[in-house]
Structures are given as structure tokens and as C-alpha cells.
Structure 1
């Protein structure tokens, strides 16, 4: 990075706040993504970036230049995330049935969507861009939460950041053999937990013209409450899931369904009859996929209030999966509080 010159680093080590701000400013976004991969929560990732920068400032004199300043910050961020997970035993590892296969993102209660607008923009190499994109997909992040924290860290450091086994072992204060074993187990678990069809997915930045039109038609059909038009955009084996408080799910538990006809029929009460809701929608992007923020207005109200943020997974010419998060995530996407 241009800011990581010797004079700037020395000034930061000596206590120059402006120099330190220039250094960390280059890496703030990618550090947030790093923390998000480890803890699964956008809000917690932001807090952990703040903790990383605070620790870095307090320990600035410990930077000896044996690595890049960026690598030094990643070490601090990784340890901050591991400390966070030690303090939160209920967040260390997701629990689910032992059988292999993907589970909905909403099954991991702390998992939040990540706004594409907040993704790091410093990666330019083609292979690195692919890795960066695929490792923020909801399916990948969901599978990550089934790993133990140190397995998670070892996998991210080795397979995403490209650290050597020795560098990873030094950060985790363990042996190279232990790191290699952790990474092998983590890779095996990730294969068990992610869909076989991932290569067929179309992230938002690679949607062709027909797929972009598909997303536009979904948005407009949602606003019209046109269930037939919505059904025409979906695969027959569509998967749909809702977090608690999302899109009319008033239960304390997440729910999920499979099958287009079953799912569309379950939406009918909200769209049909005198008490039907009106909907307005805003297009956005989350976790490398198209997303739609839905606002609802019930009869008698003047404003539309947040209803749910849906992330769409597109396969070929149809929507294969819809994941609906609650209104609490709207703020992180800079979406309005009402329409």
C-alpha cells in the first residue's frame, strides 16, 4: 500500500495519530470482512475492527517491521475475534443435526448479511477476487460457523489470506502439525456443509442481462403482490427461509420451507383480501448476491416500515433460494427507516 512507507510507519510508532490513521485507513474495510468471516455478524465485526485499531494504537511500538503493517493488523484482528468467541461460548460453534448438507443461514441465529457496498475494494488479482467473493457467500459463512474458532482462524489464514503454516502456527501459538491438522478437518467440514452446486451460482457482479431482468421482475412482482408472477421466476425446488421477526415470521424461531408451490401458497394470506399488506421494495446487494429490501404498509397506516431483507440466490434463469433477514439489518445497508 502507498501509505505503508517507512516514514509513515515510524511516525505512527512514535505516536503520530494522523500517520496511524493513514495506515489503518487502507485496511479498515478488509479487516471488517476478516472479522465477519470469523464471527458471522456484521455488527460484531464492526465492533471488533474498532477493538483491533484500539489495540494496535496501544501496542504500536511492538511493530518491528518483520512483517507488513497489514499482516500485523491481521494478527491483532484475529486474536480480537478469538478473544470475543472465548467470552461468548454460545457463539463458538453452531449446532445442528449431524447429517451432512447445507443448512439455511437463518439457522445460525447470529449470522447477519453483509452489504456488498462495504466489501473491501483493494483486491485486484483475478484469482484473489474470486476467493474474496466466494468466501462471503451466505452458504460459506454459514458453514464456517460450524467450525471451532481456532479451526475457523486457521482456515481463513491459510486458504483465504495465503499465510504459511508457520506464520499461522506462530499467531495461534501452536505447532505447524496442529495447524495442518486443523485446516484439513476444517476443509472436510466445509465440504460437508456447502452445496455441491455452488459453481452454478451467479453472484450479483456476474449476473447476465437475463438474470438482471429476473431480479427486476422479482422486485416489481413483490410490489404488486403478484404471486403468479413471483412463482414464474422461481425454481420448482425453491428453498425459502426466514429469521425470527423477518417478513411476517412472528415466531421466536427461524423457519424454512422447500418447494415453490408450498412457499407461494404460504405467502397468499398476506397478499390477498381486505387486510392484505402493501409492499414497496428497494434493490441492493448482500454477500455477493442480489437482495431486495421490502417495506410493508398495513391498511390504515400512512408509512411503509421495514418488513424484511431478502437475499436471492440465482441459478441459471431462475431463483433457487430466498433468505429473509429481519428489519434490524436495514441500518447496516444504509436503508431508510421508513418510506
Structure 2
């Protein structure tokens, strides 16, 4: 870990135009800044763009850094305001409506709350900053604050409320620090935070089943391994009853970017029977992890070639030995960020030939 003297030396060299010194100065913060941007923006692609713009701004304005606060706090201030600008920019959000649900889909339970720009975040990136610790004001643990339900809840908030909640309840900054970073007053921050907490807590209480939104279990948890194995088996065998047996009674199914959801066992059974387990479909499944949760790259057999093609990335929320929510991301381009290929060869050793472990796997 760099000492205060090392940091001061790097700042001086970077101010003199040494790009290598600047890279050394900020590289220890870049991964957590990316996650910060992801929480506010809900999109990994947008978070990557925001991070690059943050670092470019920091390079250009390093001479303005007076060291009244830590370098980390200064970088967070830049990143937060960069994200708020992006949230407010109309160009950032989709200009077209999400695709209409296919005619084969059964009637949904209602409209979902996941925004069309929502993307999953690969756990392999989270491993790069596991040693970061929130401040004393933090209300959420790190794993809870990256869960898909939490990130979705943040997207329901107005920009300033979103930033206030992340700075105070996730990163643990004091109200005065958050106010300085947002260019407002402590009273305004506390007011925004109060309203944001009400919205987020209400959303988390009904998402994921039974109000259980505590941190996801670690990948090595034996019960999670068993659940992942059973879910993989059910999908690859097209065993609808075995799959339904794994679901909580109030399970919640969503398919971003489509703004619809299915709730409860009966709705889940209708959806899986009509779409996932439609006759003639055959799947291979590769376990991975996203947002601190189990996830799967799902591949469907191509009837005209000896390959399974990427079909969806499925992110799973669990409570005990049951699945409380399933989010299927139909934009298969996100799978490359998890180290998952576009295709898999068809099985050659029977219906459940062992899968080769792929980058990003966690099961």
C-alpha cells in the first residue's frame, strides 16, 4: 500500500505531466469507482464510459486537487457528478421502446420495475477490490449493495436521491462530506436520503421473495453449490417439475429489457412450459456469477448446426434452498463480459456430458 509520502510524490510527478505516475496514483481506485458508477447508472457499459471520463477529468484537473480531502474522496466526487450528468442526459437512455413480448408468452402478472438499460455485473470484477471497506456511516454491506435487486431499486430514484443514498448508505460518507461532493447542503442531503431510503426499502421488501435481501452467500457455500447443480440439471434435462420444485412460492421472473414480470409458482410454470421447455428445445448451461449472485450462461441448440448458441444470461436470487427470483438478460452480448463464448459444441457424451469450466464460472 502506498504511503502518504508516495502519494504526494506521485501527485507532484503527475501534475508535471507524468502519465505513468498518474496511472499509478489512480489504479488502486479504478475498480471501486467503476462499481460506484454501475450502482448509479445500472449499466456496465455506461459505468465503463463514466469511469474513463472520470479519470480523464481527474488528469486534466489534478492541479485543482488541494488535498483538503483524500484523493479517493476527490475521485468519488468527480465520478458521482459525471454519473449524474449522464443520468440526466436524454441521449443515455434508449430512444426506442423495449421489444414487444413474443406472442408465445403467457399473460404476465404485471409490469416489472427493471429499467431497459439494466445490465448484470460480473463477479470476476468484484474480486479486484474485495479489501475496500465502507465508512462508519454505511447502512448496507458491500455484497448487498451490488445485488441486482439493490441496483434495480436505485434506478427508481431521482438522480440526486440516488447519489445521496450511495454516498451515505453504501460508501459511508458523512452528511457534510456528501453535501460537499454534491454541491449542496447537509439538510438537502438528509432530506434526499430519507426519501431514497423509503423507496429502496419498499422495493427490497417485495423483491427476491419474502423480503429477503441480505447479502448473497459466498460462491463456496455448499448449499448454494447444491442449488446450482439442481437448477443446472433441471434446465438441461428440460424437467419442468424439478425446476418448479426449486422455486419459492412468490418467485419473481423478469426478462430485461422487456418491462414485464411473472410472479408466483403458477405464472412461472406457465412461462417455462410455453417458452423455455417448448418441444424441440435443448439447452446447455454454464454456471457463473453476477452481482454477488449465482448466474448461468444458457445456450440453446441450433437445429441446423452442431452447436448450442448463446440464448440468455440468467441471474438467480436465492433464500435458503429456494430460488426467489430469476432475471433473464436476452442481450447475449453481455455474456462476453463473463468470459462466456458465443457458442458451445453439442454434447457428445450423453444428455448431461460434463461441461468444460469456463472463465468467470463460480458454480
Fold similarity call, TM over 0.5: yes
Q: Counterpart of 1:132?
A: 142
* Residues 155-166 of structure 1 mapped to structure 2, 5 A cutoff: 155-166=165-176
* Count of aligned pairs between the two proteins: 319
Deviations for 1:207-238, whole angstroms, at most 9, x for unmatched residues?
74233201111112211212222122222332
CA distance in 2, matches of 1:125, 1:168: 14
Q: How far 1:62 moved relative to its partner?
A: 1.2
- Note the residue ranges of structure 1 that are not aligned, 5 or more in a row: 93-101, 245-252
Residue-by-residue CA offset, 1:125-163 (whole Å, 9 max, x unaligned): 899796211111111111111111111111111222222
121-130 or 72-81: which moved more?
A: 121-130
Correspondence for 2:116 among 109, 118, 131: 109
Higher helix share: 1
Per the alignment, residue 271 of structure 1 pairs with 277
Shift of the 125–167 alpha-carbon distance from structure 1 to 2, 3 Å rule, reads closer
Partner of 2:307: 303
After superposition, the CA RMSD in angstroms is: 2.6
TM-score by length of 2: 0.80
Residues in 2 aligned to 1:294 and 1:329: alpha-carbon distance in whole angstroms: 12
Is residue 2:87 matched to residue 1:85? yes
Q: Distance in 1 between matches of 2:168 and 2:133?
A: 19
Matched-pair contact (CA < 8 Å) for 1:289–1:313: yes
**Shift of residue 291 of structure 1?**
0.6
> 1:14, 1:61 within 8 Å by CA — same for their partners in 2?
no
**CA distance in structure 2 between the aligned counterparts of 1:32 and 1:336, rounded to whole angstroms:** 24
User: Counterparts of 2:88 and 2:17 in 1: how far apart (Å)?
Assistant: 31
Q: 1:257 aligns with which of 248, 259, 262?
A: 262
Scaled by the length of structure 1, the TM-score of the pair is 0.86
Aligned equivalents of 1:146 and 1:218: distance in 2? 30
Q: Identify the match of residue 51 of structure 2 among 49, 52, 59.
A: 49
Mapping for residues 204-243 of structure 1, pairs under 5 Å: 204-205=217-218, 208-243=221-256
Displacement after TM superposition at 1:27 (Å): 0.9
Unaligned runs of 5+ in 2: 95-109, 345-363
User: Given the superposition, is the C-alpha separation of residues 124 and 178 from structure 1 closer, same or farther in structure 2, using an over 3 Å criterion?
Assistant: closer
The 1-side partners of 2:23 and 2:46 are apart by 21
**Alpha-carbon offset, residue 188 of structure 1:** 1.6
Aligned residue in 2 for 1:319: 323
